[in-house]
Amino acid sequence: MITNSAVLSLRDVSKVFPGVKALDNVKLDLYPGEVTALVGENGAGKSTLVKTLTGIYQPDGGELYWKGEPVDISDPEVALQLGITAIHQETVLFGELSVTENIFAGNYLTRGPLRRLDWPAMHQRSREILADIDAPLDPKAQLKGLSIGQKHMVAIARALSVDAQVVILDEPTAALSHHEIEELYGIVERLKKSGKAILFISHKFDEIFTIADRYVVYRDGNFVGEGLISNVNEAELVEMMVARSVSETFPKQTVSIGEPVMTVSNLNHPTEFADINFEVRAGEILGFYGLVGSGRTEIMQALYGLSKAATGDVRIDGKTTQIRSPADAIADGLVYVPEERQQQGAILDLPIFQNISLPQLSKLNPKGVLNEQREYELARAYGERLKVKTSSWDQKVANLSGGNQQKVVIGKWLATQPKVIILDEPTKGIDIGSKAAVHRFMSELVEDGLAVIMVSSELPEVLGMADRIMVMHEGLMVREFSREDATAEAVVAAATGGLAA
């Protein structure tokens, strides 16, 4: 028995995978009516911990306690019966089903001796749960017609359809707009007032300091520290996370900017953007900033040949190029690191070396016979340059942390030796240590004369790394800022339509 007021506690919990000790004698306490932020770099053991709490993994050592008594969470069903539920960054929902069907999937309410589905009861309960989290949705509405934020509310309602006492929020704001994030904060406050113990996992310090009451820090599978959030600052948390002081989150280097490498003129799309004109120079980081739906990503996808409806003139090294497909873009020296690295940037079930060599198979194997040695050498060269943390280049990309997955995707395209690289949300979902590593590498790229286009929704990243900033609003390029003239207030005002010019 353990004597504290925590509803769920871990003591000396370990979890070992082949060659990796994911958790090494860690501890955790979750208290009713409080938010505990779990902080750590990618690879710190956060995901393994969540799977242990929800019964997907069983620990190899240590004890779990439920309200002070030892408990064996042997499978997800046991976790649900106890009242432990998790809301993940990418919760699986069913677009063709209704809101109610998604909320009660696998946990339907029944009536009578034949256990018929009780749809009136489920619709009514759905209304009650949605009302509790202030989500005015029709329980009978089809899920595919909802916005991303509304789908996230359904995922939260689904988690609360059981009598949850512990709610795990795993990177819950990754796909949400600023307004939807504010709504989520309100939901968290209501959950606290109802006595739920909340484990909040996020890489965003502004979120942690806004809603958390306590913090716990893991590093490399080890417990590092814990305490009240009111007794710690961001610099102290960072130092605990990475075991070093990260005094400069944005290590911007002063680089001599050269001649234009790519010039875009009169780029248009019938529904996404219009009249886009800009140039990016050798040694320059050109930032694109805008709110969700402003057209930033759509422009980049059009440049890369993914949008057939776009028209305009694109010149690379002074020569007009016709980019009809990504293959044309790569051949002309333009590569694109997409925002959704897992769905679009990498083949997760393939090993690292095959992901990095994929765009160059014909070059590496000119006679059509696979030469794994050449692929290994290429992967090693760029994997080591990017400091990818892995035990082997044979390791599946799916088994890497988010930050290391991003490094593999960047390495894959750098290996093609491009002239222009587009980085769309390059640090999305990765920890502060990995962010600093990506930022340092961006500085190295421009030092080598590469032209970098960085699309980001994180204003500090844009202000910290870009030489110039192009601001988008509703499909239009409304302002251009030099690094010297850009302020947070001015950039946000432009992005919201306040200072269109």
pLDDT(387) > 80: no
Looking at CATH, the fold of the domain delimited by 8-242 is given as: Rossmann fold (3.40.50)
Task: Please report, rounded to a whole number, the percentage of residues in the chain having pLDDT higher than 90.
Answer: 40
What local confidence, expressed as pLDDT, does residue 498 receive? 62
What local confidence, expressed as pLDDT, does residue 243 receive? 66
What local confidence, expressed as pLDDT, does residue 105 receive? 85
Strand extents, DSSP E, 59-140: 61-66, 69-71, 84-87, 110-111, 116-117
151-169 pLDDT, tens digit per residue, is 888 888 887 887 789 999 9
Q: 499 vs 171, which has greater pLDDT? A: 171
Mean local confidence (pLDDT), 332-353: 77
Instruction: Report the distance separating Cα 10 and Cα 1, nearest Å.
Output: 12
Query: What values do phi and psi take at 456, rounded to 5?
Result: -150, 145
pLDDT(148) > 90: no
Could you tell me how far CA 226 lies from the centroid of its own chain?
Answer: 24
**What confidence tier does 368 reach under pLDDT thresholds 50, 70, 90?**
low
**What confidence tier does 391 reach under pLDDT thresholds 50, 70, 90?**
confident
402-441 pLDDT, tens digit per residue, is 677 777 888 787 777 889 999 988 887 666 667 777 888 7
pLDDT(396) > 60: yes
31-83 pLDDT, tens digit per residue, is 999 999 999 876 788 989 999 999 999 999 999 999 999 999 999 999 988 99
What local confidence, expressed as pLDDT, does residue 246 receive? 44
Task: Please report, rounded to a whole number, the percentage of residues in the chain having pLDDT higher than 70.
Answer: 89
Among left, alpha and beta (phi > 0; psi -120 to 50; other), residue 375 is alpha
341-350 pLDDT, tens digit per residue, is 566 667 777 7
Handedness of CA 140, 143, 148, 153 (dihedral sign): positive
pLDDT(359) > 80: no
pLDDT(19) > 80: no
What local confidence, expressed as pLDDT, does residue 501 receive? 41
219-267 pLDDT, tens digit per residue, is 888 999 999 999 998 888 877 886 654 445 677 778 889 999 999 999 9
What local confidence, expressed as pLDDT, does residue 345 receive? 64
What local confidence, expressed as pLDDT, does residue 340 receive? 66
Percent helix, strand, coil in the chain, to 5, is 35, 25, 40
Asked if residues 11 and 2 have their Cβ atoms less than 8 Å apart, the reply is yes
- The residue assigned the tokens 């809101």 is 99
**What confidence tier does 3 reach under pLDDT thresholds 50, 70, 90?**
low
Which CATH architecture does the domain made up of 260-495 adopt?
3-Layer(aba) Sandwich (3.40)
* 3-state class (DSSP) for residue 16: strand
Strand bridging mode 420-424 / 451-455 = parallel
Q: Domain boundaries in the chain?
A: 8-242, 260-495
Look at the pTM and tell me if it is higher than 0.95.
no
Torsion of CA 431, 437, 439, 441, to 10 degrees: -150
Q: 230 vs 95, which has greater pLDDT? A: 230
Q: Of 476, 82, 75, which is closest to residue 272 (Cα–Cα)?
A: 476
Asked if residues 139 and 100 have their Cβ atoms less than 8 Å apart, the reply is yes
Query: What values do phi and psi take at 424, rounded to 5?
Result: -95, 110
What local confidence, expressed as pLDDT, does residue 180 receive? 74
Q: 338 vs 301, which has greater pLDDT? A: 301
Q: Which of 124-138, 174-188, 265-279, 366-380 has the lowest mean pLDDT?
A: 366-380
Q: How would you class 467 by CB atoms within 10 Å of its CB: exposed for 0-12, middle for 13-18, buried for 19 or more?
A: buried
Q: How would you class 274 by CB atoms within 10 Å of its CB: exposed for 0-12, middle for 13-18, buried for 19 or more?
A: middle
Q: 467 vs 250, which has greater pLDDT? A: 467
pLDDT(483) > 50: yes
